[in-house]
Amino acid sequence: MTTAVEVTGLTKRYRSLTAVGDVTFRIREHAITGLLGRNGAGKTTLMRLITGQEFATRGEIRLFGEPPVENARVLSRTCFISESQRYPDDFRVKHVLASAPRFFAQWDADFADELVTAFRLNRRQLVKKLSRGQRSAVGVIVGLASRAPLTIFDEPYLGLDAVARQIFYDRLLADYSEHPRTVIISTHLIDEIAHLLEYAVVIDDGRIAIDSPVESLTAAAATIAGTAESVERFVAGRTVVHRARLGGLLSATLDGVTDADRAAARDAGLEVGPVSLQELIVRRTSGDANTPDSAAAGAAPETTEVTR
């Protein structure tokens, strides 16, 4: 595995607030990775640290084997598109596109023009007069057409309607397949981008909660449903991350499920269903995740009572 981003023991404090606390992870080169987590979890701070816009309190960051802070060689290979991107007041869309080649050596002007048409932007319009969705589209265009070896999108879809978001996803996948590079997407619309992601890094309260290939993450989870008594008997001793009750019925979301577990559940007359990436991450970062369902655990996993 070739590493594009390597973070070791990284901490960022703002006075008494620890925004990022002793995190360690790697981002694989030539892969699309989701940096996921709740609002305020530390995602944006982490991205600003990675791109050299913030100084770490402690720890080490390496992009392509080198520290990013005040390193023009590394930063010239990086494109960071933030939802709070700002441009000079007199900049029009055409000025953004004209200035981009100065920053990105692999800039594709023809691809940028295609995207302008796809997103229905007016090249002559002032950026400050654009709607929030149109400004997001400008950022998406720059991020995609930059073809930077490391491209980071921080909540790139804000204000985009469903059609525009789908254009972004489709164009990203198509261009990535022809021009592989390392892409990091930070978002809370997990279900929408799950099909794009090869890896997921989940940050929760400033710490890494999950760092895993998406396929193995979702393959190891399942929902077991049936009568409450039967489900409780089956899940005893297993890792239950969520329960939902409806009368005498119970649905339990399990982690660490094997094919043998699934077969055993079916043999016991229980229904076995998949768990989406979003549901799994929500359950694992809700405060009651990863709770072994045993008396020794001393706590119960999250339970939802469903009423009719």
**pLDDT tens digit sequence for 227-274:** 999 999 999 999 998 999 999 999 999 999 999 999 999 999 999 999
CATH number at 189 reads 3.40.50.300
Would you say 10 and 58 are in contact if contact means Cβ atoms under 8 Å apart?
Answer: yes
Residue written as token pair 């594009």: 4
**pLDDT for res 299:** 39
**pLDDT for res 304:** 55
pLDDT band at 287 (very low <50, low <70, confident <90, very high): low
Asked whether residue 23 falls in the same domain as residue 132, the answer is yes
pLDDT band at 216 (very low <50, low <70, confident <90, very high): very high
Q: Return the minimum-mean-pLDDT range out of 22-26, 92-96, 273-277, 285-289.
A: 285-289
83-113 residue pLDDT tens: 778 889 899 999 999 999 999 999 999 999 9
CA angle 219–221–225, rounded 5-degree value: 130
Residues 73-80, mean pLDDT to the nearest whole number: 93
Asked whether residue 77 falls in the same domain as residue 195, the answer is yes
**pLDDT for res 308:** 40
109-119 residue pLDDT tens: 999 999 999 99
Tokens in use for 197? Answer: 């992601």
Distance CA 190, CA 40 (A): 16
Asked whether residue 63 falls in the same domain as residue 159, the answer is yes
Q: Using the 3D structure, point to which of 167, 187, 215 is the last residue of a domain.
A: 215
Q: To the nearest whole number, what is the mean pLDDT of the chain? A: 90
The residue type found at 121 is L
143-152 residue pLDDT tens: 999 999 999 9
Helix axes 132-146, 162-178, angle to 10 degrees: 0
pLDDT band at 162 (very low <50, low <70, confident <90, very high): very high
Q: Name the residue range of residue 236's domain.
A: 220-305
Element (H, E) at 249: strand 249-255
Beta-strand ranges (E) seen in 194-238 are 199-204, 207-213, 221-227
Asked whether residue 198 falls in the same domain as residue 91, the answer is yes
Asked whether residue 23 falls in the same domain as residue 97, the answer is yes
Residue 62 CB partners (closer than 8 Å, separation 6+) = 5, 6, 7, 68
Q: Which residues of 25-38 are buried (b: 16+ CB within 10 A; e: fewer)?
A: bbbbbebbbbbbbb
Q: Is 28 helix (H, G, I), strand (E, B) or coil?
A: strand
Distance CA 185, CA 200 (A): 10
**pLDDT for res 289:** 40
**pLDDT for res 1:** 64
State how many domains the chain has.
Answer: 2
pLDDT of residue 295 exceeding 70, the answer is no
Element (H, E) at 168: helix 162-178
32-47 residue pLDDT tens: 999 998 888 899 999 9
